[in-house]
Every structure is written in C-alpha cells, then in structure tokens.
Structure 1
Amino acid sequence: MCKGRCQREFAYGQAGSMLKYFQDKISENPSFHYALQLDVEEHITNVFWVDAKMIIDYAHFGDVVTFDTTFGKNKEYRHFGVFVGFNQYREITIFGAALLFDETCASFTWLFKAFLSAQNGKQPRAIFTDQDTAMGNAIKEVFTEAWLCTHHIMQNVVKHLCNKKNDEDEESHVLTDFSACMYSIEDKIAFEEAFNIMRSKVDNKRVSWLDSIYKFEEKWAECYMRDIFTLGMRSTQLSESFNSDLKTHLKSYFYIIRFLKHFERGVQGKRNKELDEEFEARKKLPRIRMRTPMLVQASKLYTPQIFKAFQAEYKRSMAACTRALDENNTYAISIVRSNGDLSSEQECIVVGDPLEQTTSCNCEQFTRTGVLCGHALKVLDLMNIKLLPNHYILKCWTREARIVAELTGMSVQDL
C-alpha cells in the first residue's frame, strides 16, 4: 500500500476511520446500518453492521440463520462473527457481520439485539450456533428458537470421548454410537435406550461429559428435530465456509479499514456468484430424466439446485412399495434401495387427502427442508394428483423468489 493511501485511511485514527467508513456507506445508501457498543471510558468495544442488500436478503431468506465466530482475530484483537443463510440457489448469503472485543454473554446479547433491531425485529425461525456457553445464554435471551451445530458437537465428541490410551475399536464404537444418536435414531424412546447403552460403555470422566451434552438433547438429536424447519441445515458450516473463503482477503494483521474493505470484497464475490447462478438458471432449464407433468412443472418453478433434489425424491418415489392401511388414504410406504438387493428403507406412514391435495408423512422431510419426500410424492400419485400443489412449492426455493417478494411487499417466508 502506498504511503499516501495509508495516511488517508488512518487520518482519523482507527476508531475515527471506521466511523467515517460507515458514514460514507450511509451516504451511498441510507439503508446501511451500524451499531456500536462503548465501554465505561466510551471506547468502542463491539461493532455490528449490515448493508442494504443484507437487510433485503434477510427479509427474503432469513428463516434459518447460522452464526459463528471461528475466524481469527484482526490486529485490534477483535473476534469476527458473521450471520449467514441460504438463498434460493442454496448458496451462502450474508445477513450481517460484527467485530467483538470479547466473547462474553453481555457482548453476544448486545450483538444479537443489534442484529434483530437492524432486521426490523424479525426473528429467524431457527438459528444454529456452536456450544459456547456465553453465546448459548445470550441466544436464549434474544432468539426464539436456537439449535446446536452438529459439526461442533462431533468435534467435541472426539475431544472428550476419544483417548489415545483407549482401544481404537472402542473409540470407533463410541463415535459411531454417538453419531447414530445425533443423526439416525428417529424415535425418542429408542434414542434414550441407545444413549444409556453408550453411557454404560465409558468411564466416569466421559460419562460426565455425556451427561452435560444430554441436557441439551432437544437441540441436536434427530428425534427432537424431525419437525423443525431447517432448510436442511444442521450446523454452522455455512458460516465457517464463508470465513474460510475470506482468508484469501483477510489477514490477521490488517488494520480496521483494510479489514472492512476486504470483507466487503468477499461479500461481493458471493453476490457475483449468485448473479452467475441466476443468469445460468434463466438461460436454460435443467435436464429432466422423465418428462412427467410434475417434473416439467417443477423444472420451470424451482432453481436448478432445488429441482435436482426434487427430481431425486421423485425418482425414489418410483421405487416405492405401498401398503394400504385403511380406506382413508393412509399408506405404509417403503422405498427399495438402489443397491440391487431389493432391500427397503425404513417404512414410513403417509396420510393423504385427495380433496385438499395434501399428504402428511411421518418422516417430516417437507417440514424440515421444503422439498417433498419420495413417500409423499408416491401418495400424491396414488391419489391421481399429477401436478405439484401450490402449498408444496416453497417460494424461497423458486426461480422468482426475490421477484415475488418484491412485488407483493412480503418476505418469502410469509408467502
């Protein structure tokens, strides 16, 4: 950097330069928003900011949010945190960012309240964070629904349950058992039994850690999260992925203005990628494997990424075996695996209503992700419903997600 440029950036000092940067952003667009927290000596301790695009994106796609502070500190010893989510292409979109002096409950509480204030008080339907105690306490105070990051939990499982002195087979079994409790076991009674069996296999020290994580079982176990709207998200890896991308732009020794400008460049890179995705989506329709009325309809409505997921479920529905349980459109549905041995996945119960054109599957996939499961699609077909009913087309997954919201003046999740 040339000397003249450096002098221009820091003529006001670090705090003054940052404030000027924010004021210049407000001059460019009055919707830019920032908040500062001061200590008793009126020094800036914590900083939060959002630009106009972040506010709009949150209004459209802020149903599910992740927040993480894993990125390293900058030269001023501030922790960098970012709020992110999915857009209609399942690409990362940024909802806000912060620099924190410390990671105390008070700092996180201030930050989360500042975030909601900037977003017109709109609560996310779910927010994912790590197991940090201070953050967890602040989350409970500010947000309605919060869940623990499964990725961080598994990292802690390795840290607390695995020991180099233990037999490798024993460690492998512990990891497998815990992973099953978190991801695979769908029945609460079965979960309790499996957890107790796992607990009986480890020593007192590891039992203590298992008991501590068990207190929050409803925040990470599959059996408690089956009906939670998560858009398929279960961890803060979106935030971590963005932080990882920023490492090409941000260095720990950057001064504050350079930090902000390089962050801005990283955000713009994500937005450029979204524009590229939109251009490609409008240029051509995705490949359709079977030209059925429902798949043709879905290919025109969904973004390519979501259509790919929907088409996979449609293909699964073609391999479904059905067993009528009564005369009121209640079926047991089992899908034959694609490994060639004619074995089936776990049977699911689906209740259909041909008049309302609805299906209710106990796998709860649509509730969680907004994409119908193969079981439900099979029952729609059995009821001779050949087009996807409108109430199963989640607007945030469609090509026109932003356009629909802007024309109606409503957020995507309100439609």
Structure 2
Amino acid sequence: MLRFTKRDLYNYVHSQRIAQLNDGDAAAAISYLEGKVNADMMTVARYTKTTGDQLGSLFWADGQMMADYQLFGDVLAFDATYRSNKYKKPLVVFSGSNHHKQTAIFGFALLQDEEVRTYRWMLLNMLDVMESKKPSVVVTDGDKAMRAAIADVLPSARHRKAVYANFDVAEFEEYWRTAVKSLGLMENSWVKSTYELRQSWATAYLRGTFCTSYKTTSRCEGINAFVKGFLKSTNSLLELVQSLDRVVKDYRNNELTGLDKIELFAAKLYTRAVFKEVRKQIKGVGSLLFLGKDSISTTSVYKFSSVGNRSRVRKVLYDPSEPKIECDCMMWNSEGIPCCHIFCVMKYEGLGEIPPGLILRRWCKDAKEWTASSTCDSLGHTSRLLRYGALCSSMSVVAKLASDDAADFFLARDALTSLARRLQLRRGNTVAQDERVREQDVVRDPAVTRTKGAPKRGREMGSSTNAVPGGKRRCCTSCGLPSHTKRTCMSQRETSQAGYPEGTSATIGDPSSGEPSGNRSGRSCSEVCLMIWVIFDM
C-alpha cells in the first residue's frame, strides 16, 4: 500500500523545482549556461539587465553551433516564437542548412521585447560570437522591426521573406500592373508597400542568389513547431534552457554523423553483415557528449558520455604515432570492430580512414584471398602452381590419346611408371616410402566404448555375439509355471470342463495337437453343430 497520495507527489516535484531556483529563475538559468563551459569551453552566454536588475534579453550558443555557423552560416534563417515560457518572452532560433540539407541550429535568443533596438542587440552579439562572419542571405518573416535591424546591422546581406511569382522581371512587372489594375487596387496602401518590398519576395529579383533551397520561412516555422513539443507556457527560464538542450541533441542525433569518408572506407573494406554493425557505431557518434581532452606526453585522452547515461564516462587513448586507438569499453577487443567512442575520436582528429591497427582481417571482404606467410616464398609458390597446371594439361592429353588403343595404353603406362621411378630416385624415393607406410598402416574397427550409466541387465559389455539373454521367463498367470500361458494351461482347462455335460468337451480343437481354440479353420460340420448345441444349452 502506498503511503503517499498523488498530491504529495506533485508537492515533492514542485519542491525540487523550487530548490533549483534558490537565487532566482534568471540566475539559475545563467548559472546553468555558464556551467556548460566545463564541458564545452566555447559555450557563450550574453544577457542584458533592465533598470530594476531584471533579466532583459539573453543570447547563447555552444561550440558546435559556432563551428556549424562558420561552415554553413552563409544563409541564416530566424524567426520568433511565443508561449515558450511563463514570462512570455519571445524565443528566437537561429538556423541554417548543413551539407546534408538538414537543419543546423546556430544559437538561441530570449528577447525582452520586439523593438528595433532589441533585434539590433541580438544581431550584434550574434556576429560578435560568430567571429564577425556575416551571412549573404537572411530569411525572415515580414516583421518591420526585424527588417530595420537587419538593414542596420547586415546591410550587405540579401533580406529574403518568401518566394512567389516565378516570372522574369519584365513578366512580373507586367503581371503586377495588370492584376492591380483589374482589381482596382492602385491606391491601396498595403499593395503599394508590398510592391516596394518586391526584391525580397519575388523570384524575378532573387533568381541567381544562393539560398540553399530556402524559399519561404516554412523551415523556421517547422523548427518552432518542433521546439514547442519540448516546451510549455509555464516553463521557468531554467527549464526552458534545459529543454532547448534536448532539442539540439535531438537534431544532432538525426543529423548524419559527418564521418562520410570513414563510412565509405568501411563500406569498401568490410563485408555487408559486418558493415551493418560498423555503421551502427558510426551513427552512435551523434549521441555522445564530449566532456574534455587531456594530453599526456604524445597521447591524447578523450572523455565521452552518452545522452542516455551521463554518469558513465568512457576514456579513449589516441597516439598519432601508434596505429591503434584504445577505448576502455573494450568493444574492439571483444567484437573486432571499432566502437562509437573510437569513431568520435577519428572525427575530432580528422581521420579519413580506419587505422590499420583497428582492422581485423577476418571481417574484411578479402579474408579468403590467399596471402603468403612469412615462412613461404610467394614467388616460388606461384611458380609451383604454374608448373603443376602445365603438367596436368599435358597428362590429360596423354591419357586421352593412350586410352583409345590397348597398345598405346601399355606404352603410356610403362613410360609413366619409368618416369615416376626416375623422379622418385631424384627426390630420395620419398613417395614410395610414403606408399609403403600407408599400406602397413592398417586401421581396425574401434572397441565398444563404455558409456555412462548402468549397462543393460543380461548383456556383457563388448561381447554382443556371445551374449545370452537372461531376463525374466514368461510364466502362466494361472498356475505360475513357465513354458505356457493361461490360454493353454491344462489346469485351467480341467477346471472349466467340470461344468459341461458328459461326453462334451470345452475345447473345440484337439488339445493334444496344441492348436489354439481360436483357430476355426478346417473344422468339421459335427464340431460346429456341437459348439452351437453347447452354447444354447448353457
């Protein structure tokens, strides 16, 4: 029986949440982000405070986000989403497209409001953290404050809202004038303002601009919808930051590992069944958390933990001068394939192939191909095989010609026998000695093995031909004597005849002949009549 109620459980969870916020929600969130520096030295968090020392805006990004931005930050997309925390602060997700055309997250921002100065602070800090690399294309929605901030901070970037009207410039202008005139919207203010922004949404003016397949803000909206699956409108700031960490890990788990060269190398090296197992380990790199790297002389010690079990830390030793990478999970020692921790080290070290010390030949496609050993001369062995094949071809021709005629057969046989003797003398007659040894080596039938358990009674082990069965003899169940049964017992027959009329017999057949009573073949008519009379008289 449980000694607590459902309300007690809710109260306990609430007390644990409050215990994490001793110094306040904002202070706990900032402390959490600053604490991530221990695992990732590149993690950055920047924030502002209001006049009442309250949290204003907050921007943060980790080392992997910065690295992704340096590679794929030429096209930047961001949009604001709402109802993500109990303070109703807008959440901005910076994203782009990686080399697999998958979504890559570059950073997050919580805004104090949606004014131009707030967006300007956000973009300036984002550029400062990303080493002042400016995107060439920025994809956003049609927010005026956002457009003004982009024009101020990123004047050289092409602002793109969405793509409509797939025409050339002349066709677009003609189509626009015709549509506006036919609908009578020449003086409409919204139509005029939209036309003034045509260079940010019409394909006619955006053709030739590299945008990594970004045509609308639908990918941003998809990210926002995915993020809301991890968030609640009642989340504190600490819970918001922790939930966004799970969002990033989920995206990175879905992202391809980036070990394309190693995966291609493994596909060419291993058999299909083994490559499936190796590929699982390569995909497992996405679920690992990098905890740090230590150096001992020329050896690097990497530390990893998994998303599902952070308490278990795996250590990997890597020495560039050694052909092997060692991990304390011992998977390579037990299964002969590198583990995900070793593949993660290969990724950090920029290795394009699996080191030779980690390749077990028995799992390779060429495992059955003949390889010369250190004690065998490869050239001599190949020459021997060639000579053997040539002689076999010549002997097959001799056998075919000599088998057609008896005289040719005897001629070929005598010649081959003479040639074999000459070759035996040249080699010390070892072939003849081997044949004599085989003739003298007589193999007899094995003895019967004494198996476990007691032997069957009445049988002598090892002498099945002379064994005499000594089991129980069959006896009569009426008198107890052997050599007959109850059906042929004389004492039983005498007892049963006492109840029949005089001159009749209880047996139809001849008792002295030993014929059983059930045998009715060959009986006379008188015997049959007598049997019927006895039955009716009874």
Listed one character per residue, the Cα deviations across residues 154-189 of structure 1 (whole Å, up to 9, x for unaligned) are xxxxxxxxxxxxxxxxxxxxxxxxxxxx33102x12
Offset at residue 405 of structure 1 (A): 12
Equivalent position amino acid for 1:48 in 2: F
Equivalent position amino acid for 1:247 in 2: K
> 2:27 aligned with 1:46, yes or no?
no
Give TM-score scaled by structure 2 length: 0.45
> Out of 247, 253, 272, which is 2:234 matched to?
253
Equivalences for residues 177-196 of structure 1 within 5 A = 182-186=164-168, 188-196=169-177
Offset at residue 238 of structure 1 (A): 1.9
Partner of 1:147: 159
> Out of 110, 123, 128, which is 1:117 matched to?
128
Equivalent position amino acid for 1:8 in 2: A
Shift in CA distance, 189/72, structure 1 to aligned 2, threshold 3 Å? same
Q: Per residue, is there more helix in 1 or in 2?
A: 1
Shift in CA distance, 406/76, structure 1 to aligned 2, threshold 3 Å? farther
Query: Does the CA contact (< 8 Å) of 1:65 and 1:124 recur in 2?
Result: yes
Partner of 1:314: none
Distance in 2 between the 1:205 and 1:33 partners?
Answer: 50
Listed one character per residue, the Cα deviations across residues 96-115 of structure 1 (whole Å, up to 9, x for unaligned) are 11111211101100001111
Shift in CA distance, 285/149, structure 1 to aligned 2, threshold 3 Å? farther
Distance in 1 between the 2:23 and 2:148 partners?
Answer: 37
Equivalent position amino acid for 1:238 in 2: R
Segments of structure 1 that go 5 or more residues without pairing to the other structure are 152-181, 287-401, 408-415
Partner of 2:71: 60
Partner of 2:189: 208
**SS at the partner of 2:188?**
helix
Shift in CA distance, 71/280, structure 1 to aligned 2, threshold 3 Å? farther
Distance in 1 between the 2:131 and 2:349 partners?
Answer: 16
Partner of 1:230: 211
Distance in 2 between the 1:228 and 1:406 partners?
Answer: 32
Listed one character per residue, the Cα deviations across residues 2-57 of structure 1 (whole Å, up to 9, x for unaligned) are 24531332111012111211111123222101111222333221111101110011
Offset at residue 275 of structure 1 (A): 3.7
Partner of 2:98: 87
Identity level (%): 26
> Out of 99, 119, 124, which is 2:110 matched to?
99
> Out of 272, 276, 279, which is 2:253 matched to?
272
Query: Does the CA contact (< 8 Å) of 1:131 and 1:148 recur in 2?
Result: no
> Out of 263, 266, 278, which is 1:282 matched to?
263
Distance in 1 between the 2:162 and 2:16 partners?
Answer: 44
Query: Does the CA contact (< 8 Å) of 1:71 and 1:81 recur in 2?
Result: no
Distance in 1 between the 2:54 and 2:82 partners?
Answer: 23
Listed one character per residue, the Cα deviations across residues 333-377 of structure 1 (whole Å, up to 9, x for unaligned) are xxxxxxxxxxxxxxxxxxxxxxxxxxxxxxxxxxxxxxxxxxxxx
Shift in CA distance, 67/194, structure 1 to aligned 2, threshold 3 Å? same
> Out of 11, 18, 38, which is 1:7 matched to?
18
Offset at residue 247 of structure 1 (A): 1.9
Root-mean-square deviation (CA, aligned residues, Å) is: 2.9
Distance in 2 between the 1:406 and 1:183 partners?
Answer: 45
**SS at the partner of 2:174?**
helix
Shift in CA distance, 405/239, structure 1 to aligned 2, threshold 3 Å? farther
Shift in CA distance, 80/406, structure 1 to aligned 2, threshold 3 Å? farther
Equivalent position amino acid for 1:183 in 2: A
Offset at residue 205 of structure 1 (A): 8.5
Offset at residue 246 of structure 1 (A): 1.5
Aligned residues: 261
Offset at residue 94 of structure 1 (A): 0.2
Query: Does the CA contact (< 8 Å) of 2:180 and 2:186 recur in 1?
Result: no
Shift in CA distance, 281/403, structure 1 to aligned 2, threshold 3 Å? closer
Listed one character per residue, the Cα deviations across residues 292-320 of structure 1 (whole Å, up to 9, x for unaligned) are xxxxxxxxxxxxxxxxxxxxxxxxxxxxx
Give TM-score scaled by structure 1 length: 0.58
Partner of 1:74: 85
Query: Does the CA contact (< 8 Å) of 2:79 and 2:140 recur in 1?
Result: yes
Shift in CA distance, 210/86, structure 1 to aligned 2, threshold 3 Å? same
Segments of structure 2 that go 5 or more residues without pairing to the other structure are 1-9, 268-345, 352-538
Higher relative contact order (CA 8 A, sep 6+): 1
Shift in CA distance, 191/39, structure 1 to aligned 2, threshold 3 Å? same
Query: Does the CA contact (< 8 Å) of 1:94 and 1:267 recur in 2?
Result: yes
**SS at the partner of 2:165?**
helix
Shift in CA distance, 110/96, structure 1 to aligned 2, threshold 3 Å? same
**SS at the partner of 1:263?**
helix
Partner of 1:176: none
Query: Does the CA contact (< 8 Å) of 1:246 and 1:263 recur in 2?
Result: yes
**SS at the partner of 2:255?**
helix
Distance in 1 between the 2:152 and 2:88 partners?
Answer: 26
